[in-house]
Amino acid sequence: MTKQRVQEDETSGKVGKDWLETNVDQLSSPSFLSGELKSETDSPTMSQVTSVSQLSDVQPTDWAFQALQFLVERYGCIAGYPNGTFRGNRGMTRYEFAAGLNACLNRVNELIDTATASLASREDLAKLQKLQEEFGAELATLRGRIDRLEARTAEIAANQFSTTTKLFGIAIVGVQGTFSNRGDINPRDGVKDTDDAATNINVVNLNQLLLTSQFSPRDYLVTGLIAGNGATGWGEQVNGEVNYDGLLAYEYPTNNSLVLSDLRYHRLLTDKFAIAIGSTTVNMTTTFRGPNRFENAATGSVSFASQRNPILNIGFTGQAGIAFDWQFAKRASLQGVYSSLNAGNPGLRAGLFDGNTTTAVQLLLTPTDTIDTSIYYVNNYSSGGCLLAFVGDDCLTAVNANTNRREPVQTNAIGATINWQLSPRFTLGAWGGYSNSYIPGKSGNVERTNWMVYMNFPDLFKKGNLGGIYIGQPPKITHSSLPVGNNIPDIINGGLGEAGGQPGTTTQIEAFYRFRVTDNMSITPGIIHIIEPGHSPNSDSITTGVLRTSIFF
């Protein structure tokens, strides 16, 4: 009976008859175990039940019949209602439970005090003593094993790595290769003049250690070390410009040298408001909640472009900064971050507050248990003219032949992501983004767009496995009207850098299947097919096969 229902009946001037008949037992607070049962009209106490057959509504076919029979006939601590019923399907109050339990315990104590034969006979005790003697050797062996386990547990506790720090590790090894193709790149004049340099089969490995130090239930410190080797060849410069098509999610070449990848302190200031501050990797990818529940370089999609909306990658490399996460409603939260990459061209803003900086906010909404949506805004200043997102058209100004560097850009970007779990084994999602950039103090701007739709298939063919299909367009310069000499699309076309956008549109199609070998290991074959790579309409399509192995420890 809900409080709302009672209020509705009282509004009508009475408590409904159906409610009264259903809850009259609770109104009189009877105890069906204690033997002190009172009726709804305070009738005399019913005599103690001596046989379960005295309860008219208890049948031998009832699932609890034997339990009631045992309590009545062996311990004599069950009572019914004055009308000879037990009402076993009715809920009981805490008072009833306490009184009934007390009656049964009192009866058990009486049996113990009087040492009645019904509790334990001398023959039963003799049998127990004989069994103890017969299994003496086994009991001694078991006792020895327990002693050794206790000693081993004490040794592990005394020599454990840390009482406050937990270690988590990931090792990824990927084997991948790309089919031969030629591109219209240098210059982009309709002639396929450049062989793809990334067609060799190679091995890429990535290893990361994450240490989480818990100081209290409300704060912890994350320290990460990473080492990687090998690359697919994407991200290389062609005609002075960088092409990131085909970059894999687990590429992080450090020549197998360990570098600091994470150093952040998280603290819960209130039950619904948390902050993070750190000197390394305080960015949107580490502080924003992602709607795509399968976003992961080790267990999710295989390309970097399909991990998340590239808008959220702006200023991706390691930065110092501060972030917050505010759960201001049950199904709504707000995240924000300010970060600075303390590196830049000399004399072109390189400090914590005036260098390569990123300020971003995200509104995350979960209108239902199966739908996650996020809307985000990013403001970025790049002293080097590149957004450091490493997807699609990432650099927005051309290299100046006289100064050998790019003009800085100020960028405003917006985007949104939606993830809809249509069933436990099928999820549909999409994202889109738009950015507008300009050179401070100069005329003109650069506009980019990007989008992606995807499908995830959890537990495909077997529990713990995952299939996925991702189709989208990486960031593309649709319009560039910066001063002559700075417009990248025209420079790639062999021009002087006049206004204009990209002549083609890149479309990336990706499919993968993650097979979980054990709880700590998975193998993922995948394929990436790129149409009009580099937004070049006359270049051959690119097809890359991937076999990724991920191990967790």
pLDDT, tens digit (0-9, with 9 covering 90-100), for 538-553: 888 999 999 999 999 8
User: Given pLDDT bands bounded at 50, 70 and 90, which one contains residue 158?
Assistant: low
- What's the whole-number mean pLDDT along residues 66-74? 76
Encode pLDDT of 175-209 as tens digits.
998 888 887 777 777 888 777 777 778 899 999 99
pLDDT of 11 reads 34
Buried b (16+ CB within 10 A) or exposed e, 167-203: eeebbbbbebebeebebbbeebeeeeebebebbeeee
Peptide bond into 458 cis (omega under 30): no
pLDDT of 34 reads 28
- The tokens describing 225, both together, are 């070390």
The beta strand positions in 8-162, using DSSP E, are none
Q: Do 73 and 52 contact (CB within 8 A), yes or no?
A: yes
In degrees and rounded to multiples of 5, residue 31 shows phi and psi of -120, 115
Residue position matching structure tokens 């809307």: 375
Please list, in sequence order, all residues whose beta carbon lies within 8 angstroms of the beta carbon of residue 22, skipping any fewer than 6 positions away.
1
CA–CA distance, 170 with 298 (Å, rounded to integer): 8
Region of 335 on the Ramachandran plot (φ > 0 left; ψ -120 to 50 alpha; else beta): beta
- What's the whole-number mean pLDDT along residues 24-52? 40
pLDDT of 162 reads 64
Helix (H, G, I), strand (E, B) or coil at 85: coil
Lowest mean pLDDT among 28-42, 120-134, 189-203, 473-487: 28-42
User: Given pLDDT bands bounded at 50, 70 and 90, which one contains residue 461?
Assistant: very high
Q: Do 546 and 302 contact (CB within 8 A), yes or no?
A: yes
User: Given pLDDT bands bounded at 50, 70 and 90, which one contains residue 527?
Assistant: very high
Burial class (CB in 10 A: 0-12, 13-18, 19+), 377: middle
Encode pLDDT of 78-137 as tens digits.
777 777 777 777 777 777 777 777 777 777 777 776 655 555 667 777 777 777 777 778
Residue 180 DSSP class = -
CA–chain centroid gap for 124, Å, is 57
pLDDT beyond 90 at 377: yes
User: Given pLDDT bands bounded at 50, 70 and 90, which one contains residue 163?
Assistant: low
pLDDT beyond 90 at 288: yes
pLDDT of 18 reads 32
- What's the whole-number mean pLDDT along residues 322-330? 94
CA–CA distance, 259 with 227 (Å, rounded to integer): 6
Mean pLDDT (the chain, rounded): 81
**217 or 126: which leads in pLDDT:** 217
Residue 273 host element (H or E): strand 273-280
Q: Do 307 and 508 contact (CB within 8 A), yes or no?
A: no
**40 or 368: which leads in pLDDT:** 368
Helix 17-28 × helix 3-11 angle, to 10° = 120
pTM over 0.85: no
